[in-house]
Amino acid sequence: MITLNDVAKKANVSKMTVSRVINHPEQVTDELKRLVFSAMKELNYRPNVAAKALANNRTQIIKLFILEKMDTTEPYYMNLLMGIAQELDKHHYSLQLVTKNAFDIGACDGYIITGFRNTDFEWIQKLEAPLVLFGENSYGVDYVDTDNQLGTALATEHGIQRGYEHLYFIGIDIDERFEFSREAGYVNVMQKYDKVPQIIRFENRSRFAAAYIQENWAEFPKNSLFICSSDRLAIGIEREILRQGGAIPQDFGVIGFDGVFLDQIAAPQLTTVKQTIVEMGATCTNMLLRKIGQQNAKQGFKVFKPELVIRQSTK
């Protein structure tokens, strides 16, 4: 293994100089920097993460908490994870995944928490390392999120522009902010056009949404649009409309939310509010690393604008 010392000898400097070239390059003359860099390249030097961690009183570990009651196998999380993991790798950090099952709590340099709910606030405050939430919150904790309200507003506007007359909102029956925001986006646009909002909520399972359509099929006039709070619900709606013989998208439209994986499984392919989750995961990671570098300084929030991807489930 190549160490700082090896590089230092090769470049005829002290290892302290090499360390400086890496961490405080502005303190070293260009001449030496060049020497050191070429020595590093020649020897293919890789810093020893453990040594660095020890010296800095760090761990180089970030923990990701997935607190949701929801299904952790949702493709959503995998995308988030990819975004986070890739960014961590770049900065020589590694990852520990924590779910409600295993709550060991070894040390770490920071936390990313997703699925945060109000009741979690108390114990989260006790965490000693910097943390960033993935998902909005009203406690002033730094976060990254999608503009949920904008997402459903886009969807609703689009539905109205395309001439759907009856717009229903199919929500997730869960007490979380993202859901309120999505409903609000829908409600606002409905009111703007003097329409009466109609919201129905289910557990996030395609079957429940499908069952609802089946039971109430007679009540849905033609030219209805179902704006859903997840692609998973949208899939159920779509499936049952087809089974009842409804024509998608002419007589009935469906719009999903997420755009991660299920939108591709659906047929006809779903018009959906797409979140760039991988990118958001990366941003979240960067925010956290910056926060670590700045003694836990406040970072504020970053909200991503979702995009309405128009496919075959709306006219």
Binding residues for DNA, per CB under 7 A? 1-5, 12-17, 19-20, 22-24, 27-29, 31-32, 45, 47-48, 51-52, 54-57
Decide whether 23 or 99 has the Cβ nearer to DNA: 23
Q: Which of residues 32-51 bind a second copy (CB under 8 A)?
A: 46, 48-51
| DSSP structure string for 169-209 | EEEE----HHHHHHHHHHHHHHHHTT---EEEEE-S-HHHH
81 in Cβ contact with 281 (< 8 Å) = yes
Decide whether 192 or 243 has the Cβ nearer to a second copy: 243
Decide whether 173 or 175 has the Cβ nearer to a second copy: 173
Count of residues that bind a second copy according to CB under 8 A: 56
Cα(62)–Cα(87) distance, rounded to whole angstroms?
Answer: 11
Nearest distance from C-beta of residue 13 to DNA, angstroms: 4
Q: State which amino acid sits at residue 202.
A: F
Say whether residue 113 binds a second copy (CB under 8 A): no
Tokens representing 12? 């005829």
Among 117, 201, 205, 311, which residue sits at the site for a second copy (rule: CB under 8 A)? Answer: 205
For 11-47, give one letter per residue: b (16+ CB within 10 A) or e.
bebeeebbbbbbeeeeebeeebbebbbebbeeeebee
Decide whether 15 or 205 has the Cβ nearer to a second copy: 205
Nearest distance from C-beta of residue 111 to DNA, angstroms: 21
Cα(123)–Cα(51) distance, rounded to whole angstroms?
Answer: 31
With CB under 5 to 8 Å by kind, the binding choice for 295 among DNA, a second copy, none is none
